Structure formats: structure tokens, C-alpha cells
């Protein structure tokens, strides 16, 4: 008789239950992308027991974002915040969520010495008006706006949970609301009882990682803020939040000069010294508020505050490119070259066994690509006809072929990292190109990026003249390919042959139903916007 047979039925039941506990169902990662969420793009990764559980988490996150946006939005005249802002000198009972954010605004205004200030909306409106007239505000306009900002914005009653609007200065919660929404949306969707083990929620570069999910986060270099560019820093994150604020994506061009959209409330002028501030914190709202504040404060003050606060770290970039890290900034994640990045497996393997894969084609002979130049591929995703607000991002591949039609560099591959990955095959030319497929198919080219918030659906990717193994290629003729395929939708392709030499060029490409527009710009590196 075997040892197990002597246990009896009750013991076997207990033993089986114990095995289930010790060996739970293996959770998989599922990824979802949406555009036009809070005015930018959304990436949601879930570690879930089943595809159904992951879809539930996606729906729950989106529903919570809608609910909170209806509270905090300054763009929706019917939001709770907008309706409250329309009142004057009367105590209004507000929702717990709005009250908590107003309290947090008071706290960060005090802790940062006024660098964080919701009244800065008055400066945003002034500079936006002047930018349309291609001029900077006059001294009199700045003085009048600063006077308008001098009165307290509100008065809170903690016991009654009321907020009284004071004065007529326009207000905005933009510097903290997105982080608050990310924090709360993660909290409601992390439900182990439904099989959700971990979540990464990234809205426009403000992100939170929670539960049993850890990931490497790339901090975008403000000098090369594009998809696939070499990151400024790459750190491992688990149960933390990351936010980046800077001037690379939004601002004003006045008289040929670029001005940041972030203002110093104390001077009334756009910030100049800091081009990017990244904050790691235990909460997304804290990271959001401090990332904005650290654009305003002098470097020494930002570092002093970050080092004094528990569970807060920062990485600051000055306009001359110099960087500053707080004392506890994480060690850099292991440096990943493009060839090793391609070796990170996706959830499913679509190509054949590794031993059957062909060796990558070696670069041809001839004069090499001029290292002073780069090729920018800028494109905008078309909003589907009839979509009321947010919409799913299609699968997209952007890659480069040589004059013989062989793929030499995959710049972008966007695909759901889950059971729906079979839709990648709808990226027809990319998928059936042997060289690209064998090198890339089944591998994850995506990174979660913390960056300054950019508009929805608009993407830049830069080709540095190297192949997928990091080797410089010769100058000459190449073809830029952009493919897009939507689940249960259309397949579209844009292809353009270009000559890479020493002459800069800009060329607009005709769009289609999936890619609204695209532009190629062969330019010197570091060229100003």
C-alpha cells in the first residue's frame, strides 16, 4: 500500500487543498492600451489568473477613472470641482475624494513654500492668451495676475467636510488630480478574490505598480523624448509610484522661443532651469504633486525636501543636461542593449525554436550613417469614427527595411501581451518579413515609460542608424514602414523609400483610417522643436 493510500479520504481532501494553496494557478500578464484618457494615453498591465479576470480589471479601472474625472476635471463644466469653483463665499459639502485632494493641495503648498499652487491656473490662462497673440505678458498683466493669486483659494472645515471658495482666482487640480486618479483606480482593481494579483497603471507617464507585479521603468531623457530612445535611467519598481513632469511635450512657442507650461507661482514666469523632474513615491498623488513642484524649486531645495520625506526619491535634469539624484535613488537596472532587450520573452512564442532561427544579416559595406543625424518618425493614431471619448489603440509596427527589402530595425511593436497576441499576425508585412519576425516575434519591445504628459495618440520614434544588434548601418536607401491593425477592424500600411545621406529633409506622408498622419524628418541630433 502506498503512503498516500493510507491517508483516507478526509486527509486527501486536506492534502489536496494544501497543494492548491502551495501551487496556485500561474498568473499571466495581460496588457491593454487606450487613447484619449484624461487627455493622454493609458497603459494597463495586469497580473491575473485568467483573461476574464484581466478584462474585469480593465473595465473596473476605466469605470473608476470616469467616476473620478467627473469629480476632479477642470475641463468638464459639470464636474464636481467645476461646479464648486463656480460658487463664492459659501461653505459647500463636497465628496470625500475632492475634500482629500483639496487638503493635499494645502499640505504641498506649505511643504514646498508655495511652489505647488492650484492658483497657478491664472498664469496658465494669461500665458495661453498671450501665446495666441505671439507675445509674452506685460509687466502690468503679470502684476495683476499675481495680485489675483494672492488671496487664499479656499477654506476647509474638516469636521463638516465643507469647502468654501474664496476670491475669484481660477483654480486647477491638474498637478495632483491625475496622480490621485491613478492611485484610487489601482486600489479598486487590485482584487485578489477576483484573481487580480498585480497592476501597473500608466496614464501619460504617471504610473503606479501594486500587488505581486514588479517591472522595469524607463525614465525618458528630456533631450530625446521619443519612443524607443535610450532612457535617462532605468529602475526596478514594485509597490511604488513614479511621475515625471517637464517641458518636452507641452508649452508655448512665442517669438520663436519655447516656454514651459509649468509656472513659478512666485514669479509668474515659466520655469527654465529644470527640464524634467521624476519622483518615486509610495503614492501616485504624492509623486504627481512633487514632480511638478521640483520643476519650480531650486535643485538644492528639491533634493533637501526629497531626502527629508519618507519613501520619496527624485531625479532632476537641468537645461544644460546635468542630472541630480536624491540620496536613495534606486540603483540602475541592468543595462539592456537592443539585442538583449529583444530576448525578453512575451507570454507566447510565435516563432520557431531558437536553434532554427537564421543569423541576422550583417550590415553591408559602404560609407556609414552620419552619427550626427537621426531619422524622426512622427505619427498620430486616427480616432475611430463614432468613438465618443477614449478608444483602443490599434496594434502598430514601425520598422526599417534596407534596399533589398530585408528588415534591419524594428522601432515599435505594440501588441497586447496576452492571449489576443494572435492579432499581431494582422501586421502582415512585418509579420511575414523573415528577418524581422525571427528576431523580434515572441519578444517584448515595450517599456513602461515615465515621461512628461503628451497629447493622446501622438507618437515620435527616432532611428539612430543602427540595426537590431546595435551596429551602425551604411548610408543609402531605406524604406520606412508603418503598419496598423485593429482587432475586428482594418489593416493599413504606410511605406516610404528615403535616401539617407548628409542632407536633412522633412516629408509628410499620406494618412489612412488607422494612422491619421505621419511625418519623416531626417535631422541633426538635438535639433530644437
The CA-atom distances, in angstroms, between 526 and each of 118, 222, 321, 375 are: 33, 10, 12, 12
Please write down the long-range contacts of 155-161, taking CB distance under 8 Å and 24 or more positions apart. Answer: 155/91, 156/99, 156/102, 156/103, 156/106, 157/91, 158/103, 160/91, 160/93, 161/93, 161/94, 161/96, 161/99
Angle formed at CA 509 by CA 508 and CA 514, multiple of 5 degrees: 130
Dump the DSSP string for 138-205.
PHHHHHHHHHHTTS--EEEETTTTEEEE-SS-----HHHHHHHHHHHHHHHH--GGGTEEEEEEEETT
Task: Give the three cell numbers for residue 178.
Answer: 491625475
Name the percent of the chain in helix, strand, coil, to the closest 5: 30, 30, 40
d(CA 304, CA 300): 6
Q: pLDDT tens digits, residue range 8-60? A: 444 444 444 444 444 455 789 998 999 999 989 999 999 999 999 999 999 99
Task: Give the three cell numbers for residue 430.
Answer: 512585418
Report the pLDDT averaged over residues 205-210.
94
| pLDDT higher than threshold 70 for residue 460 | yes
d(CA 195, CA 438): 34
pLDDT of residue 450: 61
pTM of the model: 0.81
Q: pLDDT tens digits, residue range 252-263? A: 999 999 999 999
- Provide the residue ranges of all domains of the chain, joining segments of one domain with +: 338-524
pLDDT of residue 333: 75
The CATH number of the structural domain formed by 338-524 is 2.60.40.4070
Residues 6+ apart with CB under 8 A from 441: 350, 351, 424, 431
Q: pLDDT tens digits, residue range 156-193? A: 999 999 999 999 999 999 999 999 999 999 999 999 99
Higher-confidence residue: 419 or 299?
Answer: 299
**Alpha helix segments (H runs only) across 396-481:** 428-432, 434-440
Amino acid at each position: 500500500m502506498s503512503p498516500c493510500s493510507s491517508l483516507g479520504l478526509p486527509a486527501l481532501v486536506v492534502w489536496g487543498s494544501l497543494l492548491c494553496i502551495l501551487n496556485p494557478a500561474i498568473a499571466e500578464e495581460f496588457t491593454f492600451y487606450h487613447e484619449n484618457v484624461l487627455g493622454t494615453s493609458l497603459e494597463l498591465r495586469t497580473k491575473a489568473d485568467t483573461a476574464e479576470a484581466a478584462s474585469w480589471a480593465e473595465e473596473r479601472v476605466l469605470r473608476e477613472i470616469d467616476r473620478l474625472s467627473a469629480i476632479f476635471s477642470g475641463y468638464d463644466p459639470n464636474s464636481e470641482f467645476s461646479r464648486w469653483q463656480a460658487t463664492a463665499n459659501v461653505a459647500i459639502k463636497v465628496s470625500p475624494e475632492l475634500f482629500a485632494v483639496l487638503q493635499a493641495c494645502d499640505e504641498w503648498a506649505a511643504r514646498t513654500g508655495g511652489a505647488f499652487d492650484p492658483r497657478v491656473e491664472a498664469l496658465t490662462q494669461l500665458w495661453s492668451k498671450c501665446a495666441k497673440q505671439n507675445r509674452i505678458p506685460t509687466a502690468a498683466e503679470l502684476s495683476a495676475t499675481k495680485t489675483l493669486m494672492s488671496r487664499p483659494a479656499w477654506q476647509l472645515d474638516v469636521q463638516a467636510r465643507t469647502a468654501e471658495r474664496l476670491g475669484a482666482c481660477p483654480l486647477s487640480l491638474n498637478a495632483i488630480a491625475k496622480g490621485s486618479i491613478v492611485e484610487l483606480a489601482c486600489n479598486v482593481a487590485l482584487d485578489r478574490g477576483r484573481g487580480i494579483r498585480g497592476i501597473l497603471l500608466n496614464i501619460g507617464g504617471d504610473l503606479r505598480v501594486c500587488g505581486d507585479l514588479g517591472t522595469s521603468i524607463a525614465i525618458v531623457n528630456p533631450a530625446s523624448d521619443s519612443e524607443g530612445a535610450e532612457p535617462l535611467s532605468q529602475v526596478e519598481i514594485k509597490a511604488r509610484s513614479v511621475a515625471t513632469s517637464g517641458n518636452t511635450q507641452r508649452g508655448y512657442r512665442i517669438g520663436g522661443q519655447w516656454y514651459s507650461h509649468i509656472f513659478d507661482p512666485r514669479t509668474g514666469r515659466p520655469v527654465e532651469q529644470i527640464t524634467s523632474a521624476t519622483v518615486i513615491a509610495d503614492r501616485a498623488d504624492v509623486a504627481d504633486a512633487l514632480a511638478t513642484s521640483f520643476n519650480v524649486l531650486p535643485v538644492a531645495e528639491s533634493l533637501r525636501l526629497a531626502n527629508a520625506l519618507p519613501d520619496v526619491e527624485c531625479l532632476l535634469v537641468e537645461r544644460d543636461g546635468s542630472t541630480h539624484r536624491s540620496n536613495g535613488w534606486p540603483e540602475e537596472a541592468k543595462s539592456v542593449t537592443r539585442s538583449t532587450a529583444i530576448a525578453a520573452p512575451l507570454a507566447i512564442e510565435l516563432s520557431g525554436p531558437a536553434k532554427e532561427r537564421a543569423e541576422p544579416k550583417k550590415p553591408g559595406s559602404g560609407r556609414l550613417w552620419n552619427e550626427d543625424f537621426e531619422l524622426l518618425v512622427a505619427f498620430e493614431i486616427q480616432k475611430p469614427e463614432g468613438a465618443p471619448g477614449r478608444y483602443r489603440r490599434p496594434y502598430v509596427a514601425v520598422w526599417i527595411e534596407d534596399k533589398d527589402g530585408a528588415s534591419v530595425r524594428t522601432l515599435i511593436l505594440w501588441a497586447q501581451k496576452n492571449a489576443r497576441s494572435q492579432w499581431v499576425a494582422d501586421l502582415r508585412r512585418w509579420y511575414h518579413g523573415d528577418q524581422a519576425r525571427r528576431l523580434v516575434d515572441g519578444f517584448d519591445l515595450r517599456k513602461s515609460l515615465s515621461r512628461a504628459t503628451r497629447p493622446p495618440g501622438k507618437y515620435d520614434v527616432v532611428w539612430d542608424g543602427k540595426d537590431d544588434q546595435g551596429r551602425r548601418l551604411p548610408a543609402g536607401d531605406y524604406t520606412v514602414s508603418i503598419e496598423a491593425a485593429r482587432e475586428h477592424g482594418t489593416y493599413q500600411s504606410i511605406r516610404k523609400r528615403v535616401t539617407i545621406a548628409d542632407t536633412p529633409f522633412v516629408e509628410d506622408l499620406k494618412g489612412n483610417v488607422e494612422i491619421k498622419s505621419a511625418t519623416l524628418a531626417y535631422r541633426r541630433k538635438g535639433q530644437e522643436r
